[in-house]
Amino acid sequence: MKLWGGRFRKEENQMMEDFNSSFSFDKRLYQEDIMGSLAHAKMLGDRGILSREESEEIREGLRGILSDIQSGELALSGDYEDIHTFVEVNLIQRIGEVGKKLHTGRSRNDQVAVDMRLYARRCAEELHEKLEELVGALSKTGRENDCIMPGYTHLQRAQAVTFRYYMEAYAAMFRRDMLRLENSRELMNESPLGCAALAGTTHDIDRGQTAKELGFRKPVDNFLDGVSDRDYLIELLADMSVIMVHLSRLSEELILWSSQEFRFVSLDDAYSTGSSIMPQKKNPDSCELIRGKSGRVFGHLTGLLTTMKGLPLAYNKDMQEDKQPFFDSFDTVMAALSIMNGVIATLRVHRERMEESVKSGFLNATEVADYLVAHGVAFRDAHGIVGRIVLRCEEKGCAIEDLSLEELREFSPAIDESLYAYIDYKNILKKGNKKEML
Ligand code: ARG
């Protein structure tokens, strides 16, 4: 079913009709579509373009459609070109001739643009809420498992950090993601309704009124841009891609840490799966799937950038291709955030294993050099001295603190008894700006 046809002599090819139809996926915009129409109809009545009674009748009909969809009485199914056609056809069936006046001074071009902005704005808010939950879970799990662990560079043990601080590093990333979403929401929050097809309308409509009614900051500045701007979707896809980068990195850590090689953490059974052949296996599939799904979200960003890059102004049907990638990315990122939230909230942290790992691998070598500097040795010389101490320890298979004072003093006379306390892992984090990690 379509809203046009007057100028056509022939029926549309069936394959073309299916190819053109977006109803199967844009039906999820039903609420936004009706909200936009309610604001439009009210404005038409207030401006005297429709009579007050006509405007009220239309709005009553729209409200009825919304509540019937919500109650399940009206199914979002049938042979419609898109959600806009579905709502308008149902309106006319419900209230008769007057329903045909709703589309006065409006095009599907500004209609779909306003629907998508409203929908995307809600997505930004829901993502923001989910991120906030995850930040809370990371901080809580970090606080409840406050122990030291090795920090790495090049995936080689480097220096001691705390598990809580490690979790806070991810919380910092997700907080940045929240700011990015707030910024995107602010930028996109302008109403394209009233741009009509591309060049406004001869009716004396009030774009300011509909913008306000729908909670937008203001109407867009330019009609041509208003109907063809999809920057906000690209931007949200980019925001979601960065979220997935962060989730994927965290997933990678958890996959490594839960391996037999690390044994730093165990994932809860609720977020793990088994093997059909190897009875002993418990696999971190939750994290692997999050890591894997990042590719699909990045792909959607690249896809929409590519769709948009060659389009002349104003609306082109290519833009219908904005919806599935955006919806799929949103669903994927929301699910990934919920799963990660569960993984973190139920994570078991093996503090003894982490602490044990700190003790091998010379994670206090830098602090031995700091000690020498504090005792008058230039840093570059101190670096060389500690390198030689580490070589000796490797030969003997021991840690720096296991060497006797006598042996240590062979390397530098600046060393005395106080070195042992200085490089004890219990004390290291209490010095300098390392205190911030506690
Ligand atoms: N389904 C279309 C879309 O998603 C709606 C706009 C249709 N506009 C048009 N001129 N045919 O972009």
Q: Quick check: is 123 in a domain?
A: yes
Instruction: Report the catalytic residues.
Output: 154, 275
The burial of 7, by beta-carbon neighbours within 10 Å (0-12 exposed, 13-18 middle, 19 or more buried), is given as exposed
- Considering only CA atoms, which residue is closest to atom 4 of ligand 1? 320
273 and 127 within one domain:
yes
| Candidate from 6-10, 209-213, 296-300, 318-322 with smallest mean pLDDT | 6-10
Instruction: Give mean pLDDT, residues 400-422.
Output: 97
What is the model's pLDDT at position 298? 98
Instruction: Give mean pLDDT, residues 22-28.
Output: 98
159 vs 149: CA distance, rounded Å:
9
Q: Is 108 in the pocket of ligand 1 (CB under 6 A)?
A: yes
pLDDT at residue 348 greater than cutoff 80: yes
3-state helix, strand, coil in the chain (%, to 5): 65, 5, 30
111 vs 91: CA distance, rounded Å:
16
119 vs 70: CA distance, rounded Å:
17
Question: Which phi-psi region, left, alpha or beta, contains residue 72 (left: φ > 0; alpha: ψ -120 to 50)?
Answer: left
Q: Quick check: is 7 in a domain?
A: no
pLDDT at residue 157 greater than cutoff 80: yes
Instruction: Give mean pLDDT, residues 22-33.
Output: 98
Domain hosting 73: range is 14-101
116 and 96 within one domain:
no
pLDDT tens column, 170-211: 999 999 999 999 999 999 999 999 999 999 999 999 999 999
Q: Quick check: is 5 in a domain?
A: no
Domain boundary, last residue among 350, 373, 398: 350
CATH of residue 325's domain is: 1.20.200.10
pLDDT tens column, 373-395: 999 999 999 999 999 999 999 99
Ligand 1 binding pocket mutation candidate from 86, 320, 324 (most atoms within 8 A of CB): 320
**Which residue from 430, 438, 427, 422 is spatially nearest to 370, judged by alpha carbons?**
422
Instruction: Give mean pLDDT, residues 111-127.
Output: 98
320 vs 129: CA distance, rounded Å:
28
Q: Quick check: is 210 in a domain?
A: no
Contact call for residues 332 and 121 (beta carbons, < 8 A): no
Q: Quick check: is 313 in a domain?
A: yes
What is the model's pLDDT at position 293? 98
CATH of residue 38's domain is: 1.10.275.10
Q: Is 423 in the pocket of ligand 1 (CB under 6 A)?
A: no
* Peptide bond between residue 314 and the one before it cis (omega within 30 degrees of 0): yes
212 vs 42: CA distance, rounded Å:
12
Q: Is 196 in the pocket of ligand 1 (CB under 6 A)?
A: no
Provide the number of structural domains found in the chain: 3
